[in-house]
Amino acid sequence: MTSPFVTTDWLAQHLKDPEVVVVDASWHLPNAARNAQAEYLAGHIPGAVFFDIDGIADTDSALPHMLPSPADFARAVGALGISQDMTIVVYDEVGLFSAPRVWWTFRSFGADKVFMLEGGGPKWRSEKRGTETGLVHREKRRFDANFNADAAVGFETVSANLRSHAAQVLDARPAPRFHGEVPEPRKGLKAGHIPDSTNVPVSLLTENGRLKSPETLRTIFAERGVDLDKPIITSCGSGITAVTLALALEQAGAEHVAVYDGSWAEWGARDDAEVES
């Protein structure tokens, strides 16, 4: 299995390669009191462009950062100077939080050589590697988007699954949110979880900004009763950490994994969605 990560040493050696593009994919929860774009402008890996998760999205949807249309995605990332055949290295300033979402998005639209920086921005900075300030402008490129419709599912699929049980539904949110013991960070959402779903908090899967080993991940999933050989749908608050969960499942050996793009931001807002707590 090809690793989805590259090391800081590898990136440092390839920073000046014209066919390698670095992407700052930082994003923070609404209650985190952090501004990812402002932090990017204040300092980022040299040459990195900023991927606005909320901007490169379906802006006609009331839901946060839903996948855009292939045409809109191609236009946006092409303007950032990225083509589908480049080597794309994605990172975030938490370590491994929002970078998987952008990695998955590029892959879903047909980019084959897309990786994440192991340890992300925190590891790069801890090694005293260089950074630069301000906005990076790259020459515009053409991105030919080829969307993989199997990568994501919508409300209708997840709702129908309540009756068919065709897939296991895993929820990456912290346990108190899954059980409805604390309010959601987004206002107006119900508390609880999708019926018959299983809680696998993303905090169990990472350590010090890195994904745990495939062997450890397999143990964690087994302890939660997850069958890696059967179809799986991942969910979270708004489709960010659901991708980290999908990434962990893939590294553990699961082959049939889809992300519920709307996640709890959609399910918890709909009157016709069943909720357990």
Query: What residues are labeled active site?
Result: 236
- What is the rounded CA–CA span in Å between residue 6 and residue 119? 9
| Sheet hosting strand 5-6, strand order edge to edge | 5-6, 114-117, 87-91, 20-24, 49-50
Instruction: Write out the E strands in the chain.
Output: 5-6, 20-24, 49-50, 87-91, 114-117, 152-153, 168-171, 198-199, 206-207, 210-211, 232-235, 257-260
- 241-252 and 99-108 are packed helices; what angle lies between their axes, rounded to 10 degrees? 70
Helix (H, G, I), strand (E, B) or coil at 8: helix
- What is the rounded CA–CA span in Å between residue 33 and residue 95? 17
- What is the rounded CA–CA span in Å between residue 254 and residue 28? 28
**Dihedral in degrees, nearest 10, Cα atoms 213, 126, 121, 88:** -70
- Closest residue by Cα to residue 239 from 168, 178, 152: 152
- What is the rounded CA–CA span in Å between residue 97 and residue 240? 8
**What is the DSSP pairing of strand 114-117 with strand 152-153?**
unpaired
